[in-house]
Structure 1
């Protein structure tokens, strides 16, 4: 059985098929396992097909960085499944200090830009999720309504292991629980949601110019954000 990451490609044929509990990927007929040697069984055909394509695309040295679906599935099985409640609670805590709720105190142009970008998302969360979060000026912590936070917590706990693995990245990369939910529920295009998470950074670029090193790092985060969105959708297809 294949477990962990191989250093070099050793197989000729990559395939996927239905197995007990879902779908698996096979290398020359041998089932791929997770790094923790658990069965790499995923919930949907779309996810299995995507993983098989990642393995088939490997030539020579195996590069895990080119296999986001496989890596996310491994995380769902080896990490999230064994501590689902802890991961869900950790992500739910973002609601108490959500990026969208902490606004600039100056200048007026940035205050207006944040309001234009983020107020519709907070309104959507109130209508769609029943959770009304309040925006505040400044960076000092301000507690949110406990009832609203509990509703958000329950929503996070409702995700299965594969959805939660993806949601972890959607929230962690954007810094916003609400943006994570907006991506999960297709409130708007994923590229637009990414831009809404970058309002402050875009403002800084306009004032001080583009930082090439920061831009490269942002590009990596954007790729991870969109990969997480794709994985979330595969988990439900």
Structure 2
């Protein structure tokens, strides 16, 4: 038996202000999340972006074409309920941040990592108030507990919608520092994404590009850019 799929039944999708924020109405009927909670969004900009996704649907509804709605659903149904657990998981990236683990050879890669990653760590000292130490090799070397506590507090301070976006900024880049850098507009999201792929791009230069790996990288890049957009909409 084929899976049931929702078809468009509405004429107009609109963003409306409520006592708690902004809702999406389909011909006057409020949209709910998959867990049947009210889809109440924190800003008009986010609500209008979500309403535009619903308005663009034709025939069978395609959730994959509705990234703002899907991220909002995740913020309400998952992140809001497990806020502390999600924040703890993301804060833990600070103790094994991508930017802190450096190659010891070849010299060209060592130099490139220093040139491109050191400015991000310098920004973290200024903007986040933490100093993270770099190491060569892949074995875990713990960071200063006070620095990690400072980073954790800043992650926990994010509301569910920002935290939902921040989850993807960090997990896709592999770096808590780059996640904060994207969220706080240190550089463009595209530039920061490229920084997160420094090692992969180096390998491509040496051995050539793999079509499947490039396709996957493209999917992840799109998800990273969407996460930044959703963070800003929140």
TM-score tier, shorter chain, comes to: over 0.9
Distance across 1 between alignment mates of 2:227 and 2:126: 25
Q: Which residue of 1 aligns with 2:60?
A: 61
Unaligned runs of 5+ in 2: none
Q: CA deviation at 1:6?
A: 5.5
Q: Which runs of 5+ in 1 are unaligned?
A: none
- Cα shift at 1:60: 1.2
Q: Which residue of 2 aligns with 1:85?
A: 84
**Structure 2 equivalent of residue 117 of structure 1:** 116
Moved more, 11-20 or 213-222: 11-20
Distance (Å, rounded) in 2 between the aligned partners of 1:45 and 1:87: 26
Question: Are 1:223 and 2:210 an aligned pair?
Answer: no
Cα shift at 1:20: 2.0
Question: Counterparts of 2:136 and 2:118 in 1: how far apart (Å)?
Answer: 13
Distance (whole Å) between structure 2 residues aligned to residue 135 and residue 48 of structure 1: 42
TM-score (norm 1): 0.96
Report what 2:158 is aligned to.
159
Q: Can you list the C-alpha shifts for 1:157-178, whole angstroms capped at 9, x where unaligned? A: 0100000000000000000000
Which residues in structure 2 correspond to 1:127-138 (within 5 Å)? 127-138=126-137
**Which structure 2 residues correspond to residues 171-210 of structure 1 after superposition, within 5 A?**
171-210=170-209
Aligned length: 231
Q: After TM superposition, which residue ranges in structure 1, 4 or more long, deviate above 4 angstroms?
A: none
TM-score of the aligned structures, taking structure 2 as reference length: 0.97
- Return the alpha-carbon distance in structure 1 between the equivalents of residues 132 and 5 of structure 2: 47
RMSD of equivalent CA atoms: 0.9
Q: Matches of 1:195 and 1:141 in 2, distance apart?
A: 24
- Say which SS state the counterpart of residue 39 (structure 1) adopts: coil
The Cα of 1:62 is off from its aligned counterpart by 1.2
